[in-house]
Amino acid sequence: MATMTSEPLTLPSLGFGTYKLRGEEGRSSVTTALELGYRLIDAAYNYENEGTVGAGIRDAVTAGTVSRDEVIYTTKLPGRYQRREDALDTVAESVWRAGIGPVDLYLIHWPNPGQGLYVEAWKALIEARDRGLVRHIGVCNFLPEHLSRLEDETGVLPEVNQIELHPSFPQNEPLAGAPEGALAWNTEHGIITESWSPLGRGTSLDSEPVRAAAAAHDATPGQVILAWHRALGAVAIPKASSRARQQENLESLQLELTDAEIAAITALGRPDGRLNDQDPAVYEEF
Ligand SMILES: NC(=O)c1ccc[n+]([C@@H]2O[C@H](COP(=O)([O-])OP(=O)(O)OC[C@H]3O[C@@H](n4cnc5c(N)ncnc54)[C@H](OP(=O)(O)O)[C@@H]3O)[C@@H](O)[C@H]2O)c1
């Protein structure tokens, strides 16, 4: 299904997460990430850091480190604002808070199926895009059944689906209408998968296959996991406060794992491997 943007979205293989980055420290973390070479920056209305992230991006642009049009600034619509009027006001508020012009990628944060408003929210994002407030639109945490409904009711599929994906939960388990799992379903439908909590917030760094691959490649466990995401075809958005870790994570782009290493890490997956049991079929966030 074609989307209606003038140019298709392409993303770098690695992005930068900003959950919990706020204030002066958060601002300088974002500027440093841009200096080092990150171009995809992931914020959210509910992280209460759109101002912080916008300021960090403006600092980097002012310093000449990056031009505004090279940055893909992402933010997200909270569950409590899925009604059309609320959604359009929230998008405008996001734009003003960051202060860097139209948002490059705007995502619905959670489908909240019990609330029954995600199609209305999606129509509002289509409208926001058509009005020029945002450039590209997508979703987070949408299951294939939610995505199919968007396509059936609007004819527009999201360009991105940002989902929980890490070694404990590789998103390869069969789901209703998606026998190979959510990652494969997204790919088959031309939707870019972004992995949230790609390092599992640290939970898989110590696992045997990750340590073995790290030793074999003279790499760090974090680099191995990020190279694994790339091998699966998912865009990881690790959060890292310090310059050293930001750099470490970027260097994962030089690491190529073997098929056996990739398979061994994927085999760490468990049906109950979500970090906080947030199954989008039932979990809701506002
Ligand atoms: N759409 C959604 O519903 C959703 C949900 C959750 C997250 N997200 C997005 O995804 C981003 C990433 O997820 P996350 O922040 O939950 O978890 P994460 O990126 O998996 O892990 C972040 C943690 O790992 C540490 N870390 C970073 N690089 C490391 C390395 N190389 N080795 C060891 N530890 C390392 C960080 O510490 P320091 O910061 O101290 O370096 C931080 O404590 C978020 O920031 C947010 O943008 C989206």
pLDDT tens for each residue of 139-185: 999 999 999 999 999 999 999 999 999 999 999 999 988 999 999 99
Q: What letter represents residue 214's amino acid?
A: A
Q: Are strands 192-196 and 160-164 parallel, antiparallel or unpaired?
A: parallel
Per-residue model confidence (pLDDT) at position 91: 98
Ligand 1 in contact with 167 (CB < 6 A)?
Answer: no
Query: Given strand 134-140, what is the order of strands in its sheet?
Result: 16-17, 40-42, 72-77, 103-108, 134-140, 160-164, 192-196, 235-236
pLDDT tens for each residue of 174-224: 998 899 999 999 999 999 999 999 999 999 899 999 999 999 999 999 999
Which residues make up each annotated binding site for substrate?
Answer: 109
Domain ranges of the chain: 16-266
For residue 1, the CA-to-ligand 1 centroid distance in Å is: 32
For the 16-266 domain, the top CATH level (class) is alpha beta
pLDDT band for 6, please (50, 70, 90 cuts). low
Q: Is 28 helix (H, G, I), strand (E, B) or coil?
A: helix
Ligand 1 in contact with 239 (CB < 6 A)?
Answer: yes
Instruction: Please give the positions annotated as active site.
Output: 47
Give the Å distances, CA to CA, from 25 to 126, 142, 253: 34, 32, 26
Smallest CA separation from ligand 1 atom 13, residue = 197
d(CA 163, CA 171): 9
Which residues make up each annotated binding site?
Answer: 109
